[in-house]
Amino acid sequence: MKIRTRFAPSPTGFMHVGNLRTALYEYLTAKHENGTFVLRIEDTDQERYVEGATQVIYDTLKLAGLSHDEGPDIGGEYGPYVQSERLGLYKPYAEQLVKEGKAYRCFCTKERLDELRASAPEGEVIGYDRHCRDLSEEEIEAKLAAGTPYVIRQKMPLDGVTTYHDLVYGEISFPNEDLDDQILLKTDGYPTYNFANVIDDHTMGITHVVRGSEYLSSTPKYNLLYEAFGWEIPTYIHLPLIMGKTVDENGKEVVSKLSKRHGSTGFMDLVNEGYLPEAIINYIALLGWAPEGTQEIFTLDELIEQFDINRISKSPAVFDYDKLAWVNAEHIKNMTSEEFLSHALPFYEKAGIRPDCYDLCEEILKPRITRFNELTDKLAFLGTFTDFDISLFEHKKSKSTLETSKEYLTKALPVLESIDWDREAISEAMKKLAEDNEVKNSVVMWPVRIAAAGVAVTPGGCAEVLILLGREESLKRIKASLARL
RNA sequence: GGCCCCAUGGUCAAGUGGUUAAGACGGCGCCCUCUCACGGCGCAAUCAGCGGUUCGAAUCCGCUUGGGGUCACCA
């Protein structure tokens, strides 16, 4: 049978990498087996609906390269793919269970439920007391006739255990007495998430339910629903959680399930900070899964090829920005010239780089950046040449002092003025100057580079700096610097 | 608190009864070098604890401890 997985986000306007990682594994699970990846929007919560949030989901999936085969925007045989457009579907199923005695109408008010919860002993949590589970026919009729609002709750077995199998976690059992009579249909007639989820997964033919391990403890309820309807239970793949670090009020570091409060872990946030979508995907694929070999840098196609459910781990993983940055840098290093240029161009233009220097820039910048927005800083010396501290000319490691700097700058200036403004030519000329004077290359190169750049740290060496600046600007700066020595 | 899950260096992790316990990020050091990177080499750092089972446990079992998740008319 063809595998069908689904990604079923709620439109909250924000997708953090934990959600995206779930989507990724759903995608990989399907695609590795040539299966179908479905997008379903779960918008049954009227109060939390955020305008435009659905678009964020489309944009994110598109940027991430996780293209769905069926969904609200592209259709499919199992539509509609938005829960709010499926509302008529759920109620009959709930009524069916009521008719069969597997569910019941509950007329309890929210207030009563709140009081019930408040009555729980300190530190304990108590569930619904099943007050309406055994109302008489007369009582029910009377309430209905009076127009009393109600919800539909599922009757949970009072004893025994529910056991299920998960592809990652194996055999898991829960005592039924711990299961609450969960609400299927809310007062407003909308289904709850859990109910809609089961109905939709079944009617959409989802074969593999891939989701975070926070659902491990609600899965028995799902299964009891599948059983109540006599439906086949899907294959479960629960994923270890992605954790974020925060600091508590005592200054102690704590880890918890990744969420909004963990700062910029939103996919779009990371993209805006300069992380490449493919690098983010690559990195989060490694959070909870490891390939057979030692390869760490993957394209999405390679992930599809190598993904293996059996290699998903059980323990939670902490999101690490350092490693993400490294993965990002690796992806940059693997870029073709065209790809690199397309990302770098805006920064080149802002820095006033001449087109004939694009290749040189790629060569010197590619190994030096982790994210493209670092280009601004790397190229800043081209624009700013202000009063720098002349103590920069004193550099132990290159054996430069104020005196030698002045001496060799004086010697280098006429040489530079006389040669072709060519990277090789400049480099050779400076080396020859050092050789003729029997000093280390650095004694010449260091002051020339500093004199032109005005800063100690530059991408590339003195020849590269001079080329980027151009002949005129370079000579102007060197003269100005020399005048200060 | 009940229930459920998890447990290899600071982090991500390989490992499925016999290994000097991979690799990567980060850290540190050295080399390369006109700076910073890149690259190369190297170092420090892990099987939570205690009991079993076994000729032999990171690997199997139990307990303890620690961490996480979950207990809504949210999804």
Closest CA to A239 of A26, A6, A5, A7: A26
Write out the residue range of the structural domain in which residue A133 sits. Answer: 86-239
Question: Which tokens hold the place of A253?
Answer: 């570091």
- Whether the CB of A334 is less than 7 Å away from nucleic strand B comes out as no
Task: With CA atoms as reference, report the closest residue to A194 among A171, A222, A167.
Answer: A222
Residue A66 counted as domain residue: no
- Asked whether residue A308 falls in the same domain as residue A354, the answer is no
Query: Which nucleotide is closest to the Cα of A197 by its C1'?
Result: B75
Q: A407: domain CATH number? A: 1.10.10.350
Q: Residue A356 corresponds to which amino acid?
A: D
A166 within some domain: yes
CATH number at residue A287: 1.10.1160.10
CA of A294 to C1' of B43 (A): 22
Q: Is the CB of A425 under 7 A from strand B?
A: no
| Contact of A214 with A241, CB cutoff 8 Å | yes
- Residue–nucleotide distance: A32 CA to B59 C1' (Å): 30
Which nucleotide shows the minimum CA-to-C1' distance to residue A288? B12
Q: What are the residue ranges in chain A where pLDDT is below 70?
A: 46-49
Are A183 and A117 in a shared domain? yes
pTM: 0.95
Contact indicator for A382, A452 with CB cutoff of 8 Å: no
Q: What's the domain count of chain A? A: 4
Q: Please state whether strand B lies within 7 Å of residue A178 at its CB atom.
A: yes
| Beta-carbon-side half-sphere exposure of residue A143 (alpha carbons within 13 Å) | 16
Last-in-domain residue among A277, A312, A333: A333
A44 touches strand B (CB under 7 A): yes
Evaluate if the CB of A451 falls below 7 Å from strand B. no
Does any domain span residue A41?
no
| Nearest nucleotide from residue A9 CA, by C1' atom | B75
pLDDT digits (tens, 9 = 90+) for A147-205: 999 999 999 999 999 999 999 999 999 999 999 999 999 999 999 999 999 999 999 99
| Final residue in a domain of this structure, among A345, A372, A399 | A372
**Which nucleotides in chain B have some atom under 7 angstroms from a protein Cβ?**
1-8, 10-16, 22-26, 33-38, 67-75
- Exposed/middle/buried for residue A438 (C-beta within 10 Å: 0-12, 13-18, 19+): exposed
Q: Are residues A227 and A107 in the same domain?
A: yes
Question: Does residue A75 lie in a domain region?
Answer: no
What is the reported pLDDT for A29?
A: 98
Task: Name residues whose C-beta falls within 8 Å of residue A426's C-beta, 6 or more positions apart in sequence.
Answer: A416, A419, A462, A463, A466, A467
CA of A178 to C1' of B53 (A): 34
**Which residues sit opposite A71 in a β-bridge?**
A75
A286 sits within 7 Å of strand B by its CB? yes
Q: Using an 8 Å Cβ cutoff, are A172 and A166 in contact?
A: yes
Residue A315 CA distance to nucleotide B56 C1' (Å): 28
pLDDT confidence of residue A397:
82
A476 and A384 within one domain: yes
DSSP-H helix ranges across A188-266: 193-203, 219-229
**Are A155 and A298 found together in one domain?**
no
Q: From the Cβ of A272, is strand B under 7 Å away?
A: no
Task: Examine the fold and report which residue of A209, A239, A269 is the final residue of a domain before the chain moves on.
Answer: A239
Residues 195-214 of A with CB under 7 A from strand B: 213-214
Closest residue (CA to C1') to nucleotide B37 in the complex: A368
Q: Residue A208 contacts by C-beta under 8 Å, 6 or more apart in sequence?
A: A3, A4, A5, A26, A29, A30, A234, A235, A236, A237
Judge whether residue A244 contacts strand B, using its CB and a 7 Å cut-off.
no
- Is A205 among the domain residues? yes
Q: Quick check: A15 and A264 in contact, CB under 8 A? A: no
Q: Is residue A48 part of a domain?
A: no
Considering the domain architecture, whether residues A290 and A423 belong to the same structural domain is answered as no
Report which residue is nearest nucleotide B73 when distances run from CA to C1'.
A186
User: How much helix, strand and coil, in percent to the nearest 5, is found in chain A?
Assistant: 50, 15, 35
How many Å apart are CA A430 and CA A418, to the nearest integer?
A: 12
pLDDT of residue A380: 95
| C1' of B25 to CA of A313 (Å) | 19
From the Cβ of A109, is strand B under 7 Å away? yes
A49-62 pLDDT, tens per residue?
Answer: 677 889 999 999 99
The secondary structure of residue A313, as a DSSP letter, is: -
* 3-class SS of residue A242: strand
User: What amino acid positions of A are annotated as catalytic residues?
Assistant: 260
In this structure, the answer to whether residues A118 and A234 fall within a common structural domain is yes
Are A155 and A207 part of one and the same domain?
Answer: yes
Helices (H), ranges, A107-236: 110-118, 137-145, 193-203, 219-229
C-beta of residue A106 within 8 angstroms of C-beta of residue A116: no
Are residue A206 and residue A105 in the same domain, yes or no?
Answer: yes
**Integer distance in angstroms from CA A312 to C1' B15?**
14
- A321, A366: one domain: no
Together in a domain, A312 and A212: no
The reply to whether the CB atom of residue A130 sits less than 7 A from any atom in nucleic acid chain B is no
A78 within domain boundaries: no
Asked whether residue A3 is domain-assigned, the answer is: no
Strand A183-185 and strand A170-175: pairing?
Answer: unpaired
pLDDT of res. A139: 94
By the 8 A CB rule, do A441 and A383 touch? no
**Does any strand B atom come closer than 7 Å to the Cβ of A461?**
yes
**Rounded-to-integer distance, Cα A91 and Cα A392, Å:** 77
Distance CA A398, CA A437 (A): 15
Q: CA–C1' distance A366–B37 (Å)?
A: 9
* Whole-angstrom distance, CA of residue A154 vs CA of residue A222: 11
Same domain, A327 and A389: no
